[in-house]
């Protein structure tokens, strides 16, 4: 089986959110080689919360990479560069995954292919209960999802690590937050990679809804542009 690293980043978020996320990622029917969590939180208390959660899960390798300003592309790039798998699955710590997610991903992994997925949202304020029993209650949790299901570029992006190295990962300068995922997918299309998406019938991914942080949301980012070079971050990427 081809080796796969899951990469996520956390910046000033509570540990409980990551605990729920990892509870689903570590009880997959097909496991990853590793789960790389980039702890970029400059807030010392929140950094410590994330560190404590990471120690609960043997598959998790935490990378210490605090950054005063929020830059999602840089944070994920740190994780890409630290990853050991032949393939990298980029995703977000505010998502939950059905137990067959990685099994379905493995079944369609291929060179020069990018895998994405559908997702649905959970209601704002929904009580997920204890992280330890979350997978056992998965059907009840999925039943609370708000229709309709939709494709979101950042749900998962799974692609060869070598290609991410080649294009220097996500764009840290032009797309530090918004559109960094769709920009990467656009570059993959321009490079001739095949796009393959998991349907809601294949697997269930749930976004844990939370109040929008307008401070982050309005960080200036450029929209995808097919005329731009595929390779970005010419002076360095994923630096700690």
Domain ranges of the chain: 4-211
Residues 169, 133: contact at Cβ < 8 Å? no
- Residues above pLDDT 90, as percent of the chain: 92
SS3 call for 35: strand
Give every CB contact of residue 135 below 8 A, 6+ residues apart in sequence: 23, 24, 27, 99
Residue 77: its pLDDT value, please? 98
pLDDT tens across 219-230, in order? Answer: 889 999 999 999
Q: Is the dihedral of CA 207, 211, 216, 219 positive or negative?
A: positive
What residue ranges in the chain does DSSP mark as E strands?
A: 4-10, 34-39, 60-64, 87-91, 95-97, 113-121, 146-151, 156-160, 194-198, 205-207
pLDDT digits (tens, 9 = 90+) for 31-88: 999 999 999 999 999 999 999 999 999 999 999 999 999 999 999 999 999 999 999 9
H helix runs in 143-237, sequence order: 161-167, 180-190, 214-217
160 beta partners: 87
- For residues 98 and 215, the model is more confident at 98
Please name every residue paired with 87 in a beta bridge, in sequence order, or none if there are none.
Answer: 4, 160
Q: Is 104 helix (H, G, I), strand (E, B) or coil?
A: helix
For 4-211, which CATH superfamily applies? Spore Coat Polysaccharide Biosynthesis Protein SpsA; Chain A (3.90.550.10)
Nearest to 119 by CA among 79, 94, 93, 151: 151
pLDDT at 219: 86
**CB-CB neighbours of 161 under 10 Å:** 19
Residue corresponding to tokens 């299901």: 149
Query: What pLDDT score does 211 carry?
Result: 75
Cα–Cα distance, 151 to 215 (Å, whole number): 25
How far apart, in whole angstroms, are the C-alpha atoms of residue 18 and residue 35? Answer: 12
Q: Is 139 helix (H, G, I), strand (E, B) or coil?
A: helix
- Taking only the tens place, the pLDDT of each residue in 86-109 is 999 999 999 999 999 999 999 999
- Average pLDDT on 120-127 reads 94
If one counts every other C-beta atom within 10 angstroms of the C-beta of residue 186, the result is 18
């Amino acid at each position: 089986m081809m080796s796969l690293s899951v990469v996520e980043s956390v910046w000033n978020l509570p540990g409980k959110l990551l605990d729920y996320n990892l509870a689903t990622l570590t009880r997959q029917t097909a496991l990853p080689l590793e789960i790389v969590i980039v702890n970029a939180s400059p807030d010392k208390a929140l950094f410590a919360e994330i560190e404590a959660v990471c120690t609960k899960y043997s598959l998790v390798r935490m990378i210490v990479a605090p950054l005063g300003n929020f830059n999602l592309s840089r944070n994920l790039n740190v994780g890409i560069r630290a990853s050991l798998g032949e393939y990298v699955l980029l995703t977000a710590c505010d998502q939950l995954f059905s137990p067959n997610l990685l099994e379905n991903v493995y079944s369609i992994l291929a060179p020069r292919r990018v895998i994405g997925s559908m997702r649905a949202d959970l209601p704002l304020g929904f009580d997920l209960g204890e992280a330890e029993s979350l997978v056992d209650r998965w059907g009840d949790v999925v039943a609370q999802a708000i229709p309709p299901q939709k494709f979101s570029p950042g749900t998962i992006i799974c692609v060869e690590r070598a290609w991410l190295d080649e294009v220097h990962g996500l764009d840290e300068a032009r797309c530090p937050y918004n559109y960094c995922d769709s920009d990467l997918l656009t570059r993959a299309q321009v490079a001739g990679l095949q796009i393959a998406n998991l349907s809601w019938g294949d697997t269930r991914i749930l976004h844990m809804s939370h109040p929008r942080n307008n401070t982050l949301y309005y960080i200036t980012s450029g929209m995808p542009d097919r005329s731009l070079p595929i390779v970005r971050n010419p002076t360095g990427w994923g630096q700690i």
